Amino acid sequence: MTDILFVKPVLPRAGALVLPLAEGFVLEGLAKQADEATGGAIARGLEAAGFKGKKGQSATLWAPGGHLSRVVAVGLGATGGGTQAAEAAGGTALPLIASDVEATIAAESLPAPESAAFAAGLRLRAYRFDKYRTKESAEDKPKLTRVTIAVPDVPAAQAAHAPLSAIADGVCLTRDLVSEPPNILYPAEMADRCRALEKLGVSVEVLGPAELEKLGFGALLGVAMGSAREARMVVMQWRGAGDAQPVAFIGKGVTFDTGGISIKPAGGMEDMKFDMAGAGTVIGLMAALAGRRAKVNAVGLVGLVENMPSSTAQRPGDVVTSHSGQTIEIINTDAEGRLVLADVIWYGQHRFKPRFMVNLATLTGAIIVALGHEHAGLFSNDDTLSRQLAEAGKAVGEKLWRMPLDEAYDKGLKSEIADMKNVGGRPGGSITAAQFIQRFVDTKDGHTPWAHLDIAGTAWATKDSAIVPKGATAFGVRLLDRLVADHYEG
């Protein structure tokens, strides 16, 4: 799907006609015209299919008459479902019309924000990562190249859609990054791709091993020791609010994670290409904020490494000195993401003095045990930021569940020879990981609100949902954009 256009309502002469309908619907506008043109076939077909307009419900009527290839009805649920229901309906409709070349959405009854959300849902569900498929048959490829959305007020719908389109661009960028194979996307390459954000007005600064060593990034560089691929840190800045204090987003970017010397089992290790999803989300978020010209100053920082076993790799038993000066005894080299975050968070807080910090990481399998794949884990030192994040997640369908932080969990991190160990044992593994990260949020100069999102269970989907096709989800891009839009702009 390449083009989404908003137009005045005109009954199409070809292709698919999509009818977004709420419960208790009456066919009106283009839907009524199409029904009359087909001798009542649409009303009869919907009744025969038992279509009631419930949220998530759909019905397809093939060749109902005239020149239409099909009519697809999608449910909006009870009246007042709002933009989230419209977005989900758009995503539901997409696979039902993907084999048509063109489609028209009869959205005359939807307010401009909802018609724009419907369009966004189409775009988000249409995502495909197929750049390495060389033998895919024409029949297996989607044919949809043009979608027209019929609305009464075209300028209003276009205005409502513009920021959603920028956010979708950010989501697709993140999905592209997370989907890339690790032989293609390694730290230096990922840093280079960040530079594409410069065309949106984002300033991009890339720090290599020499700069990181000079800064004392012993924790991050320790993770990278086993790989021939050199580490990078990328600092991205969007300045949309003059001299205002910035907000900061930090991402774990382990472009491939073998576990290092504490090597992972072979089964499923190919999934560790998406251990950089936290960094991918930060990059997509920065693209979204810049693309919609957000009135905020935002900083995105990503630590990029590859965790490999070799004769130069970090060993269990090693002690490293972090950028903060705190020393860390390495017990398990597969607990590497927290080491990357430790240095980048401390650096970001002291350089930029942000209003808040949110870090994202596919950090622990323990969070999947606790929450499955439905919620990401939320850990925070600030109740207000936690509430804002949870509300933003609920608004866009990216759910968070707040987990505890407590000094009692710190006991497992005690080391006999260093300031701390990098793991705290199996019990409460996602919590002790968060406790570790919290040690690198400096409190000496006052309280900086901080949140850690463990997205290990939500960064990759094994099945389709309304607006997320199977694969990389870009979880967090829309959530954090909503957080900024609701509370930190202007």
Q: What is the pLDDT of residue 485?
A: 98
Whether 411 is a known active-site residue: answer no
Whether 264 is a known active-site residue: answer yes
Sign of the dihedral through C-alpha 475, 478, 481, 487: negative
- The two structure tokens encoding residue 461: 């989907």
The upper half-sphere exposure of residue 155, i.e. CA atoms within 13 Å in the direction of its Cβ, equals: 0
Q: What is the pLDDT of residue 117?
A: 98
Alpha-carbon gap, residue 97 to 71, rounded angstroms: 9
The β-bridge relationship of strands 146-150 and 3-7 is parallel
Q: Please state, in angstroms and as integers, the Cα–Cα distance from residue 178 to each residue in 108, 272, 471, following that order.
A: 37, 10, 9
In a structure prediction context, what are the per-residue pLDDT tens digits for the chain, which is 490 residues long?
668 999 999 999 899 999 999 999 999 999 999 999 999 999 999 999 999 999 999 999 999 987 899 999 999 999 867 999 999 999 999 999 999 999 999 999 999 999 999 999 999 999 999 999 998 888 888 899 999 999 999 999 999 999 999 999 999 999 999 999 999 999 999 999 999 999 999 999 999 999 999 999 999 999 999 999 999 999 999 999 999 999 999 999 999 999 999 999 999 999 999 999 999 999 999 999 999 999 999 999 999 999 999 999 999 999 999 999 999 999 999 999 999 999 999 999 999 999 999 999 999 999 999 999 999 999 999 999 999 999 999 999 999 999 999 999 999 999 999 999 999 999 999 999 999 999 999 999 899 999 999 999 999 999 999 999 999 999 999 999 999 999 999 8
Residue matched to tokens 């700069």: 211
Of 55, 125, 338, 439, catalytic: 338
Residues in CB range of 152: below 8 A, 6 or more apart: 8, 9, 108
Q: What is the pLDDT of residue 473?
A: 98
Residues in CB range of 7: below 8 A, 6 or more apart: 148, 149, 150, 151, 154
- The two structure tokens encoding residue 220: 């991050």
Q: What is the pLDDT of residue 138?
A: 81
* Domains of the chain (ranges, CATH numbers): 3-152 (3.40.220.10), 166-487 (3.40.630.10)
Residue matched to tokens 């924000």: 113
Using one digit for the tens of pLDDT, what is the confidence trace for 270-289?
999 999 999 999 999 999 99
Backbone angles phi and psi of 65, in degrees to 5: 140, 170
Q: What is the pLDDT of residue 266?
A: 97
Of 128, 146, 264, 315, catalytic: 264
Q: What is the pLDDT of residue 2?
A: 67
Residues 279, 263, 438: CA angle, nearest 5 degrees:
45
Residues 42, 48, 49: CA angle, nearest 5 degrees:
90
**Cβ pair 255, 234 in contact under 8 A:** no
Sign of the dihedral through C-alpha 138, 139, 140, 141: positive
Backbone angles phi and psi of 252, in degrees to 5: -75, 125
Residue matched to tokens 């109740």: 383
Q: What is the pLDDT of residue 419?
A: 98
Alpha-carbon gap, residue 175 to 125, rounded angstroms: 12
